[in-house]
């Protein structure tokens, strides 16, 4: 017999919350805003509930990769549970000419990355301050 809509929605919620499967919750795609500032490319992404040490930023071969690990789930039986603490991930293709180093800051649930103009020299990890 087919599952009703409530059962299917609960299954989806359980997967996102990490209550099913071997690896926990599903990775959520991080939305980004990207703009060019003087001498830098700026990428801004919301990462709610993360700490600085939870976030990884890597630049390699014309790609920027943002990842944040899942926070420990709160030991609560929610009546409604509609938002989550990751895990988050996003890869952004970088325009040519940005790879000369970078900085990242994290505050108020928002990650801001500045990638400077210049030739890239290989993989670079940028740790949010």
Q: Is residue 35 part of a domain?
A: yes
Mean pLDDT to the nearest integer, 55-61: 89
Q: Is residue 104 part of a domain?
A: yes
pLDDT-wise least confident of 44-58, 72-86, 92-106: 72-86
Q: What's the CA gap between 126 and 55, in Å, rounded?
A: 10
Three-state SS string across 9-36, please?
A: HHHHHHHHHCCCCCCCCCCEECCCEEEE
Tokens, residue 74: 């709160």
pLDDT of residue 21: 38
Whole-structure pTM value: 0.74
Q: Is residue 76 part of a domain?
A: yes
Task: Write the pLDDT tens digit of every residue in 64-89.
Answer: 999 998 666 667 787 887 777 778 89
Q: Is residue 42 part of a domain?
A: yes
Q: Is residue 52 part of a domain?
A: yes
pLDDT of residue 15: 56
| Among the listed residues 19, 43, 51, 60, the one whose alpha carbon sits nearest the alpha carbon of residue 114 | 43
Task: Write the pLDDT tens digit of every residue in 12-29.
Answer: 666 555 554 333 467 888
Whether the link from the prior residue into 87 is cis, omega within 30° of 0, is yes
Mean pLDDT to the nearest integer, 120-127: 70
Structural domain harbouring 91: 27-126
Q: What's the CA gap between 58 and 94, in Å, rounded?
A: 12
Q: Is residue 6 part of a domain?
A: no
Q: How many folded domains does the chain comprise?
A: 1
Q: Is residue 32 part of a domain?
A: yes
pLDDT of residue 24: 44
Q: Is residue 7 part of a domain?
A: no
Residue 48, domain CATH: 2.60.40.790
């Amino acid at each position: 017999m087919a599952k009703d809509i409530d059962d299917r929605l609960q299954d989806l919620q359980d997967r996102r919350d990490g209550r099913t499967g071997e690896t926990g919750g599903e990775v959520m795609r991080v939305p980004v805003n990207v703009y060019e500032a003087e001498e830098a490319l700026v990428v801004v992404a919301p990462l709610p509930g993360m700490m600085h040490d939870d976030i990884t930023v890597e630049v390699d071969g014309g790609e920027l990769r943002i990842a944040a690990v899942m926070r420990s789930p709160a030991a609560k039986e929610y009546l409604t549970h509609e938002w989550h603490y990751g895990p988050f991930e996003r890869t952004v293709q970088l325009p040519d000419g940005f790879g000369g180093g970078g900085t990242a800051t994290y505050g108020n649930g928002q990650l801001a990355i500045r990638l400077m103009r210049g030739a890239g020299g290989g993989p670079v990890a940028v740790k949010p301050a």
